[in-house]
Amino acid sequence: MTGNHFKWDERLEIELPDLRQEWECLSAWERAAILAYWETVRGRIPDRIMALERAIHALQARLYEEEDFELSCLINFEVAELASRINDLHIWYRTDQEMESRRHSG
């Protein structure tokens, strides 16, 4: 049931909420199931962040040794993209507070 309310995000490599109807229109049971499933997904976010941070550290080590300017620019771009993913994951990690407030107001 909850699988219908989540969609795989290739960029972040986690499932994200994909509600196709208003939160208030969902039954109490559906809301509880969605929140429970989200907590499971959300619990994986710190591991994803740590993996991305390790990748950034590896790229920064390569960057430190790199002498080719164009290649160093590409490495910098990769670092920036991974940092952007980390930022997005932090935002999604905090999303539970919004969903919780919806649960209490609905």
Residues 7-54 pLDDT 10s = 999 999 999 999 888 988 999 999 999 999 999 999 999 999 999 999
Alpha helices in 27-94 (DSSP H): 28-65, 69-93
Of the chain, the end-to-end C-alpha distance in Å amounts to 20
Cα 9 from Cα 2, distance rounded (Å): 16
Task: Round the average pLDDT of the chain to a whole number and report it.
Answer: 89
Task: Tell me 27's DSSP state.
Answer: -
Q: Where are the domains of the chain?
A: 2-105
pLDDT at 102 over 60: no
Beta bridge partners of 16: 7
| Cα 9 to chain centroid, rounded | 8
Read off the pLDDT of each residue in 63-75 and give the average, rounded to a whole number. Answer: 96
For 19, phi then psi, to 5°, come to -75, 125
- CA dist 78 and 45 (Å) reads 20
Q: Is the dihedral of CA 71, 75, 76, 81 positive or negative?
A: positive
Q: pLDDT confidence of 98, banded at 50, 70, 90?
A: low
Residue 101 has pLDDT above 80, yes or no: no
